[in-house]
Amino acid sequence: TSLLLMAGIMVMVGLCRRLTRRRLRSHQRLRTFLLEMFSTFQICACTNELCLLGDVEPKPHTALTLTYGFTVLHGLTLTGSTCNPCGTLQPMWGGGISVKMGGLKIGAQFVAAVLARVFMHFIWSLEMAEPHFGALSHGCSNPMQTTEMQAFCIELLFSVVFQLTILRVERVNPKYRVHLIALLITMLVYAGGNLTGAIFNPALAFSLHANCFYDKFLSYSLVYWIAPSLGKFLILHVF
C-alpha cells in the first residue's frame, strides 16, 4: 500500500508538472514557482512515507533499497528542478538567476514542504496501511541521536560531499549521473541516518520534523538549515 501511495504521488505530480508547462508558458514566475513546488512536494511526501518504512524487516536493507530506488525515480522524473534551498543558492551566487527568482524557488520549496506534511498527515489519518497506525501520535521523532555539535558537523560534512559530487558529475551522462547521485545519497543515509537522519536539505528537514523545529527551533535550525547552507557556501567559495 505504501509503495502504491508513493507511485500515485509521483503520477499526480507528473501530471501537474506537465499541465503547468503547457498552460503557463507565458507566466514565467508562476510557472517556475509551481514546477518547483510540485517537485519538492513529491520528494517530501515520498520521504515522509519512506520514514515509516524504516523499521520494515530486514533492516536496514529494505529502507536502503527503497531509498536508492526512489532517489533514482526522483532524478528521472524531476529533471530541471532543484528541490533543495541549498542547491538554489548556487545559481544565485553565480548570477545564473536573480535573487528574486531564487527567493521565489526557495519559497516554493518550503510551501511544498508544508503541503506535503499536511497531505501525508491526512493520508495517515485514514490508516490505509499498517505503518500508518499511530503515525500521527509520535510528535517530534527526534532525528538527532547525538550531540548538537556532532550533528552540526555531520550535516555540514554531508552537505559538502553531496554538493561537491553534484558539481563533479555535471558532465556525466544523465543516465548514469542519476544512479551515481542515488548511490551517494544511499551511502550517506547508511553512514549517518541513525545519527541525524542524513537529510542535508532544509526544506525536506522541515517537512519531516516540523514538530522538532517548533520544540527546539534554534537547535534544529542550526543543524538542518544553517549547516547545509554553510556547506554549500564553502563549496561555492572553494570551487
Domain definitions of the chain by residue range: 1-238
How many whole angstroms separate alpha carbon 84 and alpha carbon 181? Answer: 14
Q: Report the alpha-carbon distance of residue 154 to residue 210 in Å, rounded.
A: 20
Mean pLDDT on 159-164 = 92
Question: Using one digit for the tens of pLDDT, what is the confidence trace for 186-236?
Answer: 999 999 888 998 999 999 999 999 988 988 899 999 999 999 999 988 888
Q: pLDDT, tens digit, for every residue of 23-57?
A: 998 899 999 999 999 999 999 999 999 988 877 77
Grid cell, residue 133, equals 497506525
User: Which pTM value belongs to this model?
Assistant: 0.94
Residue 98 has pLDDT above 80, yes or no: yes
1-238 sits in which CATH class?
Answer: mainly alpha
| Residue range 202-216, pLDDT digits in tens | 999 999 999 889 888
